[in-house]
Amino acid sequence: MASESERSNEQRLDYMLLTSVNKDELNRKVSQALRDGYKLHGSPVINLSNNKNIYFAQAVIWTNSSDPFHQEPNF
């Protein structure tokens, strides 16, 4: 995954689903996304497929404080 400094605003995705078959690899991907300015979106997922493989996933979103659509709610 490219770091924020390597990824322009036009290339940055608002939503990414990070996946891996290795828990440690997913941890690295999520950690990098958080360093790049993404925020966690929802809970992590662990899925056991029919072929007995385990898949890990975590969604992250880009929040831009200048864009009202991406504002965090104030409760």
pLDDT in tens, 29-75: 999 999 999 999 999 999 998 888 999 999 999 987 555 555 555 55
**Which pLDDT does position 28 carry in this prediction?**
98
In a domain, 75, yes or no: no
In a domain, 40, yes or no: yes
**Which pLDDT does position 10 carry in this prediction?**
62
**Which pLDDT does position 67 carry in this prediction?**
56
In a domain, 12, yes or no: no
In a domain, 70, yes or no: no
Nearest to 13 by CA among 42, 36, 31, 35: 36
In a domain, 3, yes or no: no
Domain around 52: 19-63
**Which pLDDT does position 43 carry in this prediction?**
96
Nearest to 70 by CA among 9, 29, 1, 2: 9
In a domain, 52, yes or no: yes
Task: Count up the domains in the chain and report the number.
Answer: 1
Model pTM score: 0.71
